[in-house]
Structure 1
Amino acid sequence: MKLKDILSPLLDIRAALSFALLPFLITVIKNPFLLLHPSKLSRLFFSLLWTPFSEGVDSAARSAKQGLVTPYAYGVVLDIGAGHGHTLDYLDHSRIKRYIALEPNEHMHSQISARAAKYGYTKEKDNFDIIPFGAEEIERIVMRIGGEHTIDTLATIMTLCSVPSPQKTIQSLIIRTLKPRGGQILFYEHVQSDWHDVKYWQSMWTPIWGIFFDGCSMNRPTHIWIRNSTEWNWDEGMSKMWTEESGESGRQLFSFRSGRFIRQ
């Protein structure tokens, strides 16, 4: 790896601090009881940096999302870690019955609701909901969506890097929410690199990176965990996974995989 690629997280951390540190400190000073709740502190800081970060992150992944979400998402969609609801911008709304945003960070909810309303999704029409739970809270999620095997499309865009107990969480979400025989997961995730030197630096950076970016891990083989979570329909290319690389031979700290896997 080149030195500039090894040190590239420093630029993002610096930007995060410049955007979020002052308003974060002001909020904590006004609400000192937040110091007793580390998870709330993490979500507050991330929400403050995500507002200036989100549009750039979305723009960088636009072509990947257009090739993944727009042609394939259908029916009842459960968007894991919805953030500001950018997945809505890529849906073919003529094919969507209901959009459900799973987002534990309450600071994001107003942006999701506003973007959903722009496309005609509201709670009054019963075609929209925000579930304020973490992805690992599977029992509560199943109850909220109306029972097991009710989801046609599970969408996860750069989210599974930060969920607790990732292997268990991924398997539970897929097996318990997706409809068998046709339910699908669409994913675009940064994952553990295939290059040994990149993998080393991903592991070195992850503990520091996670502090500033809400527990995000650079070094999870998420694509492998998804592939191994259940039986998929591989007939005639129905399920597939592809690489989204950038830079010199993809030897950067963020290595992306996209995929569409359909349950048997």
Structure 2
Amino acid sequence: MKLANALGLWIELRFALQAALVPTLKDVWINPAIISHLSRTFMAHVWLAFASQVDVNARTVKRELFLPNATGVVLDIGAGLGHGIQYLDHSKVTKYVAVEPNTRMHSELRRAAENAGYLESDGTLVILGCGAEEVTTILESLDSTIPAIDTITSVMSMCSIPSAQEALRGLICHVLKPGGQLLFYEHVLSPRQDVAWWQRFWAPLWQVFYDGCRLDCPTDSWIDEITDVDDRGERVSVWSERKLWGVPGETEETVFHHVLGRFVKRGGVY
């Protein structure tokens, strides 16, 4: 891997500091208690500054992934400021459940959802301040004790979930309906060993500034390997369909190695 590519993360971090450091310090000055979740506050300011451009850069791949596939009740992991809502077909998506633990983003998220026609007042919008790992809380919000979600979506959010491998298994096994879909666009651990080395090198620093985001999560492998017990008591893959692909034109020499995926949960697996 070229050294310039490996060290390019410094540029990303510099831009983030320029945009978010002063606003974060102001927040701490006004409310010193914020220091207990400083990374989350910093990340909120970073995302307010850069989310729109990040969305534009990936607009084509997200439109092709989500627009034709997302249906029914959609659970959006790490909904952020609500940019993902524009890639949902309102005629096919009946309810939007946004999981966003960073509550500083909720007002913009709510505005984006309402502009798309999803409202808390009529039950078509649910905004949760919990994490994706809090399966019980998610099910309680849906008044359900069995899988109640038709489609789970995620855009560069799984990297920040605490104990992500276990959390993803919980979501798929206990929240996603049999026959339901998981649609995701994520940055994951690179298959190239030299790139993966740099991802692991940068990961501890990166997660401090970006609210737990890890550059070295093999999320695609974790998803592919999820199993559960079927109605015969046998351990089987939860998936009946699996498809993974990369971003066209993306260089292999990037610490942000992106993959897209569409996985369908097999019937009869809870």
Q: 1:247 to 1:260 in 2, by over 3 A?
A: closer
Is the 8 Å Cα contact of residues 158 and 190 (structure 1) preserved in structure 2? yes
Q: Report the CA distance between 1:166 and its aligned residue.
A: 0.9
Aligned partner of 1:232 in structure 2 is 239
Q: Which structure has more helix as a fraction of its residues?
A: 1
Tell me which amino acid in the other structure corresponds to 2:181: Q
Distance in structure 2 (CA, Å) of the matches to 1:53 and 1:176: 34
Tell me which amino acid in the other structure corresponds to 1:159: S
Report Cα offsets for 1:136-166 as digits up to 9, x if no partner.
Answer: 1121112112222100000011000011001
Report Cα offsets for 1:209-250 as digits up to 9, x if no partner.
Answer: 11111111111110011111132113xxxx3111125444x1
1:241 to 235, 239, 244: 244
Report Cα offsets for 1:42-100 as digits up to 9, x if no partner.
Answer: 21111111111101111111111011100100000000000011110111111011001
RMSD, aligned α-carbons: 1.1
Distance in structure 2 (CA, Å) of the matches to 1:169 and 1:229: 11
Aligned partner of 2:161 in structure 1 is 163
Aligned partner of 2:16 in structure 1 is 16
- 1:251 matched to 2:248? The reply is no
Correspondences of 1:155-194 after superposition (within 5 Å): 155-180=153-178, 182-194=179-191
Correspondences of 1:186-205 after superposition (within 5 Å): 186-205=183-202
Distance in structure 2 (CA, Å) of the matches to 1:91 and 1:33: 37
Is the partner of 2:95 in helix, strand or coil? Answer: strand
Q: Report the CA distance between 1:34 and its aligned residue.
A: 2.4
Q: Report the CA distance between 1:251 and its aligned residue.
A: 1.8
Correspondences of 1:1-264 after superposition (within 5 Å): 1-35=1-35, 37=36, 40-147=37-144, 148-180=146-178, 182-230=179-227, 231-234=238-241, 239-244=242-247, 246-248=249-251, 250-264=252-266
Is the 8 Å Cα contact of residues 245 and 255 (structure 1) preserved in structure 2? no
Q: Which structure has more strand as a fraction of its residues?
A: 2
Distance in structure 1 (CA, Å) of the matches to 2:77 and 2:87: 15
Tell me which amino acid in the other structure corresponds to 2:76: D
TM-score norm. by structure 1 comes to 0.94
Distance in structure 2 (CA, Å) of the matches to 1:247 and 1:163: 25
Distance in structure 2 (CA, Å) of the matches to 1:95 and 1:246: 31
TM-score norm. by structure 2 comes to 0.92
Is the 8 Å Cα contact of residues 186 and 259 (structure 1) preserved in structure 2? yes
What count of residue pairs does the alignment treat as equivalent? 255
Tell me which amino acid in the other structure corresponds to 1:233: S
Structure 1: state its 5+ residue gaps.
Answer: none
Report Cα offsets for 1:169-220 as digits up to 9, x if no partner.
Answer: 000011111101x111001110000001000000000011111111111111
Tell me which amino acid in the other structure corresponds to 2:244: M
Structure 2: state its 5+ residue gaps.
Answer: 228-237
Is the 8 Å Cα contact of residues 34 and 41 (structure 2) preserved in structure 1? no
Q: How many percent of aligned residue pairs carry the same amino acid?
A: 42
Is the partner of 1:72 in helix, strand or coil? Answer: coil
Q: 1:247 to 1:262 in 2, by over 3 A?
A: closer
Distance in structure 1 (CA, Å) of the matches to 2:21 and 2:180: 42
